[in-house]
Structures are given as structure tokens and as C-alpha cells.
Amino acid sequence: MIEGIKCRMFLYVIFLGLFLFETEACWAVHNPDSLKYITHSFVKIKTSEGKVIYIDPYGIDEFADSADIVLVTHEHSDHNELSRVKQKATCQVIRAANALQGGVYQTFTIGTITIKAVAAFNGYHPKNNSVGYVVEFNGIKLYHAGDTGKITEMADLASQNITYALLPMDSIYTMSPAEATQAAAMIQATHDIPIHTMPPPDTYSDARVSRFTSSNKMIVHPGSTIELNASTTSIESHQSSPAGFRLNQNFPNPFNPATTINYQLPVTCPVSLKIFDIGGREVASLVNGMESGGTHIVQWNAGNMPSGVYFYRLQSGNVVETKRLILLK
């Protein structure tokens, strides 16, 4: 009798351990570092620890998460609507006046998050009361350029190994797509995301974004959320059982006419893997259904597609990761 109880207890402990392991794995999949592009220049960063950072709130009530940090690049009404965001009692608000003092750009450390103010200005946004921000957390460096022109100070960012650069390009109050392309070449970020693509009242301009030709362009439409990763991983890496949700770079790249896409899942979950053209139109659906945890390899044959830049997107629930591929015929 006692031996039977001990055996059942032993099995219970094993089951509980497996349950907790799977629960932790699911948490890792569904709570990554993420970026939500809300509208205009308004974005929300949510770290894997649950810290919420809003930058340049405007135009849409965003009540999903209360803010730990709010950053304002300048005091134009389409960038500083703090009433749009719920704030925690401990929320810290950093405005341009805090970030630029006596001509010196300030650095702020809030827990494990570091925020560096940097130059951002043009004829509509004077240098003495406008800033950009580099936000660093979990090995990720995200640059929000605010409203800026192409300025020489952008070259200083190349040494900082920026992971994601958010670049405005409405052609009126900020850079044009051509100027933003030149700015991206100066900054040398891993990913370049167009924002503020039209003057307010904001609507996203796919036509203008199509003229932004950075080789590292990542399209994120208003309302979309992407997973943030500290670095781009080659297809040769992480071939063992994965610890989390990961989309690797396709190989070869550039390619003609076929390429291989490799991704990893920590647990069984619903997955879609789709291909989009540079205008954001879906051109192929490679995976759509339940996939087991582990490494998966999918091939895309683009023999019937024209040469150009495409994007492939892996999604499971609210977790999304996107990478760029190039077809050269």
C-alpha cells in the first residue's frame, strides 16, 4: 500500500514537472519582446518581463496595457497625447525637455531598460526641442527617430549596432522615402521600419513605403505586432531542439528560383508561414495549421514570381516574426 502511494506520488511529481516545463515554454512563445505599431509615430514596446513603453502617443485610444514608461520626441499635438495612454502609478514620462538639457542629450536607466536621447531635427522640428530615442533592453536596441530630416548625426548610430530603426518618411514634415533610404544606410540597423508615412490625420501609405528601398526594410502596418529579436540568425544556427519561437534567415539569399526557410517551435501550436511582396500583398501560403514542437524546414519555389524583395512571416497567435528575402533571376 505504502509503495503504491510512493509510486503515485513519484508519477505526480514527474507529471507536474512536465506541465510546468510546457507552461514555461508556452509563456516564452506567447510573451516575447514585442513592438506594436499603433499609428503615425505611436508605438508600444512590451518586454518579455511585461514592461510597457509607449512612444509618441497619438490618435487612437490604447487601453490594452498600462504604461511603465512614456517617451515623447517633441511637443507637437500628434506626438504627445498622453491622455491616450493609461499610466501605472510608477510610470515615468520622458519628454524632449527632459531628454535634452543644456544642449546635452541625456541617458536614463529604468530597471533593466536604458534610454538614450539622440539628435532628431529639421526645419519643422528645431534641434533644441526635438529628440529621437535609442531604447535598449534584452540585447535589443530600438531607434525611434521622432520627426527628423536626414542629419549627419545619424552616422554616429552605426557604431551602436541598432537592431530596429523606426524611420519617418511623409515627405513633408519628415524625410522623403529617398532620404530615409539614405538615412538607413547611415544607421546600418538590422531592420528598418517605415513610420509616419503620411502627415496627420494619419493613414498608412503603401505607395510611399514602396519607394523606401533599404535592403533591410521591414513592413509593419498600423495595428500589427511583431516579435523583437536581438539578432538575425543564419540557417546554420540552432539546429538542436529550440528553446523558443524562432524564424531563421532563408538560404540561399538571394535565390533563384527556390529557397529554404527554417523555423523552430518550442511546443505544438497553430502556425502560419506566408510570403508577401514589397507592397504587403500575400503571394504564397506555405504553412497553415498545427505544427509540432521542434525544427521545421519549408521550401519556397518562386519560379512564377518576378525578381524583387519579398518578406516571409511566421505567426502563431499574437507572436509574429518577419524576415526579408530576395529573388534574383
Map out the domains of the chain as residue ranges.
Answer: 32-227, 246-327
Q: What is the pLDDT of residue 231?
A: 57
Instruction: Note if the pTM is more than 0.85.
Output: no
Q: What is the pLDDT of residue 26?
A: 39
The total of other beta-carbon atoms located within 10 Å of residue 219's CB is 23
User: pLDDT (tens digit, 9 = 90+) per residue, 51-83?
Assistant: 999 999 998 887 789 999 999 999 999 999 999
Beta bridge partners of 62: 85
Choices 2.40.50.100, 2.60.40.180, 2.170.190.11, 2.60.40.1930: CATH for 246-327: 2.60.40.1930
Q: What is the mean pLDDT of residues 221-243?
A: 57
Fold of 32-227: Metallo-beta-lactamase; Chain A (3.60.15)
Q: Which residue has the cell 513610420?
A: 195
Chain centroid, CA 46 distance in Å? 10
Chain centroid, CA 181 distance in Å? 18
Closest listed residue to residue 81, CA positions, set 67, 52, 61: 61
φ, ψ for residue 186, nearest 5 deg: -75, -40
Query: What is the amino acid identity at position 58?
Result: Y
Beta bridge partners of 44: 36, 54
Q: What is the pLDDT of residue 3?
A: 53
User: pLDDT (tens digit, 9 = 90+) per residue, 123-171?
Assistant: 999 999 999 999 999 999 999 999 999 999 999 999 999 999 999 999 9
User: pLDDT (tens digit, 9 = 90+) per residue, 278-307?
Assistant: 878 889 999 999 888 888 899 999 999 999
User: Which pairing describes strands 62-71 and 319-327: parallel, antiparallel, or unpaired?
Assistant: unpaired
C-alpha grid cell, residue 106: 541625456
Highest mean pLDDT among 93-97, 185-189, 265-269: 93-97
Q: What is the pLDDT of residue 64?
A: 82
Among the residue ranges 15-29, 109-123, 189-203, the one predicted with the least confidence is: 15-29
Q: What is the pLDDT of residue 13?
A: 39
